[in-house]
Structure 1
Amino acid sequence: MSAPMSSEAAQAIVPALREAIREAASLALPFFQAGGHTRAKIWSKAGGSPVTEADVAVDTFLKIRLSALLPEAAWLSEETSDDSVRLGHDLVWIVDPIDGTRAFLSGHPDWSIAVALLSGGEPLLGFVHAPATDRFYEARAGAGATCDGRPIAVSALGALDGARVAGPKPMIDKLSRGATQNGTAPTFVPVERVPSLALRIARVAEGVIDVGLISQDARDWDLAAADIILREAGGSVSMLDGQPTRYNRPEPIHGALIATAHGLRDQVVGALDGRA
């Protein structure tokens, strides 16, 4: 069983981790066709979701490199069969080799590589890299969040009216209904759909989206890396009752979630559960 890791100890592996993620991106990019269909071979997983040879190449590469970097850490990723041994480990890598595979397939730039390190069930390190636009978000517990090396912070917006809201339309409609007061619904600013869930949350962290809504069935690998980035930028990913997300459970599947700045969370929670 691995032992918990301090934020300071985690900092020592950050340079090598950045390098590994950029090398992984170099494996995926040759298969990506901006505005066109991927060059990669494609097949369907159980349940019908697509996977490409790029997903598998990135997953394999990162598993080898990250396991060598921190041998005591267990592993959970979208493209590797789950091993329950992770439940007995305090250190766990959580990886999505390509978050937003359908975007990758179709030539949309909003796909990402997401890597998190959990310690004691909480994200300690988080990296979300968007290779097509060369954006690199990262955070370490207690050390703040950055994008391309520059500090980022959530929006200072204090009211839902005028909020930039991204997510599935049914959840946006429910938020609007719940926030309606005296017959007047808030006005939301439309945000173009962000296919990568990790990127959607990262954009809340950098303040270009005020509220990110997440439908049920997201997995740990969709969330953990961006979660720590948002936490360190002044926000949170939480359940609809405002409780924080929990990771490395036997079934790494989540219900509907919200990603917001702390200043908007209570309003969003209240609107979605009918209390607003």
Structure 2
Amino acid sequence: MRLTDYETTGDDWSSDLALIESAAREAGAVALSHFGQDPEVWWKNGGQSPVSAADYAANECLESILTKARPDYGWLSEESQDDLKRLDKERAFVVDPIDGTRGFLGGQTNWVVSVAVVSGKRPVAGVLVAPALGDIYTAMEGGPAMLNGVAIHAADGDVGAGDEQLELCLPASLADRFHPRFRKRLKRAAYIPSLAYRLALVAEGRLDGTLVRPNSHDWDLAAADIILARAGAALLDDKGRALTYNRSGVRHGTLFAGNRRLVGTLLRQFGPPGQS
């Protein structure tokens, strides 16, 4: 890959999208070479979160390619020490070299390399590469969301009335906070370790929506956020606000994803903890 292939062109994000897609493909190949090979594992966050040699190798690949291509962009990755100089940058890469590490280590195939470009606190280009599945999700501001080069759209059914069942991926602790009548309409999908991939399935229309428990991070969300948006869906906080990225704090609260009508309904039907 030649760095000169990806010269910036104003606010046309196609060159950035091409760059991050190429880099994510390369990092995906690196991660895939460790898949099923019992890579060395360490534990972080007080022993709650695994990180493997595959995560670090993929991260090194991404950082080498992207920071050389765009030295004026900030860098935020789950597997790099946070350099707060990124806060002074208008644009930044937001990266998770393997989203769904637990699934990766357990032999599940639905893990992804997640890479986004953030400008003005919002993602403007995003890529999710799922090497073990052979799938690539892409989107940029002003363009469509795509899966393997074909445009995708979120499910767009009218959810304001009726008794149709809605398939959502969400933990029981959040499902229990919906009003009882609405809760009867919910079908809980099987748990997916990769949050980014789960959001991609919403963008693709394979899930109606998902709820995200508190303490997700920028790197889990940014690439999937732009893919959702360009697929006609939304990722909002519990106040109905779009997320912002590349701030000093990178954690988020309870989140809701789906088409905009569904998200509005979910927000209205969602209650405080302990609701019965």
Do they fold alike, i.e. is TM over 0.5? yes
Q: CA deviation at 1:5?
A: 7.9
Structure 2 match to 1:271? 269
Q: What residue is the counterpart of 2:241 in the other structure?
A: 243
Matches within 5 A, 1:154-193: 154-159=154-159, 161-175=164-178, 178=179, 180=181, 185-193=183-191
1:79 and 2:79 aligned: yes
User: What is the CA–CA distance in structure 2 between the aligned matches of 1:94 and 1:120, rounded to whole Å?
Assistant: 13
The percentage of counterpart residues that share the same residue type is 35
Deviation at 1:179, TM superposition (A): 5.8
Query: TM-score, length-normalised on structure 1?
Result: 0.90
Cα deviation digits, residues 151-208 of structure 1 (max 9, x gap): 0001012227411100212112223xx2626xxx432233121110000111110111
Name the SS of the counterpart of 1:12 in structure 2.
helix
Give per-residue Cα distances to partners, 1:34-57, cap 9 Å, x unaligned. xxxx52111112321111000000
| Paired position in structure 2 for 1:218 | 216
Q: Provide the secondary structure at the position in 2 that maps to 1:127.
A: strand
Question: Which residue pairs with 1:229 in the alignment?
Answer: 227
Aligned partner of 1:93 in structure 2 is 93
Give the root-mean-square deviation of aligned CA atoms: 1.9
**Which runs of 5 or more residues in structure 1 are unaligned?**
none
CA deviation profile, 1:211-262 (whole Å, cap 9, x unmatched): 1110000000000000000001011111012111111111100011111111
Q: 2: CA distance between counterparts of 1:261 and 1:14? A: 24
Structure 2 residues without counterparts, runs of 5 or longer: 1-7
Contact 2:122 2:243 in 1 (8 A): no
Contact 2:137 2:145 (8 Å CA) reproduced = yes
Tell me if the contact between 1:157 and 1:163 (Cα under 8 Å) persists in the aligned partners.
Answer: no
Give 2:127's aligned residue: 127
Residues 1:151 and 2:158 are matched in the alignment:
no
Distance 2:259 2:9 in 1: 27
The letter of the residue matching 1:268 is L
Of 102-111 and 154-163, more deviation after overlay is shown by 154-163
**For the residues of structure 2 that align with 1:46 and 1:163, how far apart are their CA atoms?**
34
Partner of 1:39: 38
**How far is 1:6 from its partner?**
4.7
Distance 2:56 2:132 in 1: 18
In structure 1, what is the Cα distance between the partners aligned to 2:247 and 2:9?
19
Per-residue deviation at 1:7?
4.2
How many residues are paired up?
A: 262
Shift of the 66–215 alpha-carbon distance from structure 1 to 2, 3 Å rule, reads: same
Deviating 4+ runs (over 4 angstroms): 4-7
